Chains A and B, each alone.
Chain A
Amino acid sequence: MSVNILAGEVGVVAATALRELAARAVGVLPVAEYADGAPLPWSVVGDGGWDLVGVPGDGAASLRDLVEIAQTWGEFCVPLPLLPTILAKRWSAAARERTGPVTVSVAAPGRPPGRFLAPYLGEPEVVLALGLGAGEDRVAPPAVAARDGFAPTLRLAETDLRSAFSAEAAREQAVVWAAEAVGCARRTLRDSVGYARDRHQFDRPIGSFQAVKHRLARAHEQVELAESALLWAVAAPADTARPVRFAVDSSIGVLQTAIQVHGGMGFTWEMGIHFFLRHVLTLRELVRGVGL
C-alpha cells in the first residue's frame, strides 16, 4: 500500500458519496442552469456529516483524502461552501460547534488595503472562522464589505475580517483549493472530449482531426501532471508552493483548451465553460491570498 499516493478509505468513501450526492442534484444539468441558484441545500451534505470528514481524531481524513474529495467536488462546480467548511472544522473548534457552513477569508493582493476575500460569505447560514490553528479560535457573523460577482459558483465577498492560519492550515487550504481546480479541469476535459465526439464538421466528428485531438491530448497531459503535482504537494510540506501553483496554472490551461475545442459555442455564456474558468481563476486568487 503506498501511503502518500493512493487515497485512504476515508477519502475514497467520502469522494464516492459526495459524487453521488452532487450527481443526483446537478448531474445532467448544464452548469449555466445552476451556477446562480442553490441546486444543493446545505442540509444534504451537512446531515451526512461530510463537513466533519477532516476533524482530527480516529478515522479523520488525511490531506491526501481531502485532495480526493476536493477533486471530486470540483468536477461539479456546485455553489456550496463544502470545502472551506471542511477545512475550517478541521482546524477550528469554534467552527466545529456550528452545525452549518463556515468559510475563511484570505489576503487580497491588488485590492483595497484592509480587505480580505472570503468565498460564500453572505450566503445563508455562513459564518467566518477567524482562527485556523492560529490566532483567536472563534467565528464571526458575516460582515460583507463588497460582493465580487466574477465567479458565481464561488460567491466571493470582500470583508474587513481576516482568518488567521497556522502554516500547516494555510498549506492544506491551498492544496485543497488546487485540488478543486484540478477537478474543474478534469470535468471540462471530459465535456470537451464529448463535444469533440458529437460535433460534426466536414462530415466528420471534429475530434477525429489531429489538430483537435492533439490539443485534447495535451490537455490530458496537463490534467495528469496537475494531479501528480497534488500528490507532490501533499507529500512535501516544505515545498508545497511550486506544485500547487503548477496544478492551478495547468488547470487554467485545460479550461482555455476547452473553450477553443467548443469553438463558437465555447465563448457563449450558455455553454457554461466560463463558470469553471471563473471558478478556477478565483481559486488562483484564493491560493495566492492564503500565502502560497
Chain B
Amino acid sequence: MEQIASAGGSASPPTAVTPDPSFLRQVEKAGGATISPCFQCVKCSSGCPLTFVMDLLPNQVIRCVQVGLKEEVLRSDTIWLCASCETCTTRCPNGVDIAHLMDTLRQIALRENVTPSQPGIVATHAAFLAEIRARGRVHEMFLVARHKLRTRNWTRDVALGWEMFRRGKLKLLPKGVKGRKWLKERVPRVN
C-alpha cells in the first residue's frame, strides 16, 4: 500500500551543489516555462493543494532545475503528483508557468525512460492514450481495465465499479471516431 508522507518537502535537495545549466537549457528547449524570474517567494508551494504528499515542493523543483539537479527532479514524486490544478501558475507574481513546467518534466522523464516514482499515475496516462489511439474517444470501463492490466491491482474499486454499474453509470459499448486514422500514427505509446 502506498503511504502518504506526513509533510511536504521531506526529501530535501542537497545543500551544496555545483550549478550545471545544461538541464535548465534542456527544459527550456523542450518548451518548458521560462523559470529564470523565480525568486523563491514560495507562493506556489503555499497554495499547492498537494504538498502534503510531495517529496519536493514546487519552488524546490524550480530551484533544482535551475542548478541542474536532473536526477532528483525526474525521479521525484512531485512531477507526477502535481494535479495540474493551475493554482501556482495563476498566483506566481513573476509569471512562471509552473504547471507547464511540470508537464515538460514529465515528458522528459518519459522520453528518457526514468523509472517513474508513481507508476499508478503513469499507468493512468498510458491507459488514457491507449484509449485515444484505439478509438479517438475514451471508454471509461476500458480505461479502468487497461489501468488494471498495467498495475495488476485487480481488487481495487471492484465494489465501487459494481455500485456504478447498478446505477447505470457505466456505458457498455465503446464508440469510435470516424476520423481516427491519424491517431494511430500520432499518439505515442507510454512504456
- Note whether A and B form a binding pair: no
- A residues near B (Cβ < 8 Å) are none
- B residues near A (Cβ < 8 Å) are none
